[in-house]
């Protein structure tokens, strides 16, 4: 069973030429990276089909966005089927930036999960509490609520295509990381919740990633947590050298 994953999220950054250059550097060094870590990248959507065709099968592709509907008169939307037809493997769903700024409600998150799983597109489901919730000690309650609603109607078999990313909002892009202990505790909580909601085998097989100011200098300490299976990396994924260090830190062969 391979749970270790490092996924990069470029967000709204890089030109197509910068993206090509990054892929070139990654591909050149791919063989020297630990082979017990799955490597994923989420470039801006317009580049996906092209980059998929430039890459080896070792590099998996993630869309930062996916529609909550099937195809039809929905200007600007792109469906899970379309992404699958372009060779995309996963979609990020429920990222806090989309929840906060683009009206991605729990109902929409749940619909996106359903559309993706039905189309054979894997899901990286993001959850995370804000600072006020953390200060009030209510983070587990919030995460439980987010997972419960996002995974409504999902069965244990479908969980094989779901990755969970725990991203405390106060740690995203702020330079302030959760401590290794805070991450370890929350990941343990999430795994126990999956065991309760589904079963213990499903919980064991599910990858739970940490996201939020993860970088080469702190990745190894965060990934050392028993239930921390890797990371969702924003800022530090833009530079291929930083990203490679984080991939090395996620290997169990350390
Ligand atoms: P960050 O972003 O690593 O830049 O904090 C993480 C994310 O939003 O996935």
What CATH number is given to the structural domain containing 65?
Answer: 3.20.20.70
Q: Is the CB of 124 under 6 A from ligand 1?
A: no
- pLDDT digit string, tens, across residues 27-51: 999 999 999 999 999 999 999 999 9
Q: Ligand 1, closest atom to CA 211?
A: 6
- pLDDT digit string, tens, across residues 196-234: 999 999 999 999 999 999 999 999 999 999 999 999 999
Q: Ligand 1, closest atom to CA 237?
A: 3
- Beta-carbon contacts of 183 under 8 Å, excluding residues fewer than 6 positions away, are 166, 210, 222, 225, 228
Residue 75 lies in a domain: yes
* Structural tokens at position 175: 């330079």
Q: Is the CB of 126 under 6 A from ligand 1?
A: no
Residue 154 lies in a domain: yes
Residue 218 lies in a domain: yes
Residue 52 lies in a domain: yes
Helix (H) or strand (E) holding 51: helix 48-54
Residue 254 lies in a domain: no
Q: Ligand 1, closest atom to CA 97?
A: 8
Structural domain that includes position 173: 5-249
> Could you give the number of structural domains in the chain?
1
> So which residues are the catalytic ones?
95, 167
| Strand boundaries in 139-180, DSSP class E | 162-166
Q: Is the CB of 173 under 6 A from ligand 1?
A: yes
């Amino acid at each position: 069973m391979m749970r270790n994953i490092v996924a990069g999220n470029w967000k709204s950054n890089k030109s197509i030429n910068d993206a090509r250059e990054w892929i070139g550097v990654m591909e050149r060094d791919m063989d020297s990276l630990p082979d017990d870590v799955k490597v994923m990248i989420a470039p801006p959507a317009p580049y996906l089909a092209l980059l998929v065709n430039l890459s080896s099968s070792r590099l998996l592709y993630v869309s930062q966005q996916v529609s909550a509907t099937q195809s039809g008169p929905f200007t600007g939307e792109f469906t899970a089927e379309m992404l699958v037809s372009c060779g995309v493997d996963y979609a990020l769903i429920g990222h806090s930036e989309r929840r906060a700024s683009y009206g991605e409600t729990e109902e929409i998150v749940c619909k996106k999960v359903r559309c993706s799983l039905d189309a054979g597109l894997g899901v990286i489901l993001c959850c995370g509490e804000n600072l006020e919730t953390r200060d009030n000690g209510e983070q587990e309650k919030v995460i439980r609520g987010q997972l419960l609603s996002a995974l409504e109607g999902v069965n244990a078999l479908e969980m094989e295509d779901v990755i969970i990313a725990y991203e405390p909002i106060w740690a995203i892009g702020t330079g302030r990381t959760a401590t290794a202990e805070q991450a370890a505790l929350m990941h343990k909580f999430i795994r126990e919740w999956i065991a309760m909601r589904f079963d213990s085998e499903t919980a064991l097989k599910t990858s739970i990633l940490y996201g939020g100011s993860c970088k080469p200098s702190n990745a190894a300490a965060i990934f050392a947590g028993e239930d921390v299976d890797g990371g969702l990396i924003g800022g530090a994924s833009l530079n291929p050298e930083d990203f490679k260090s984080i991939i090395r830190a996620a290997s169990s062969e350390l």
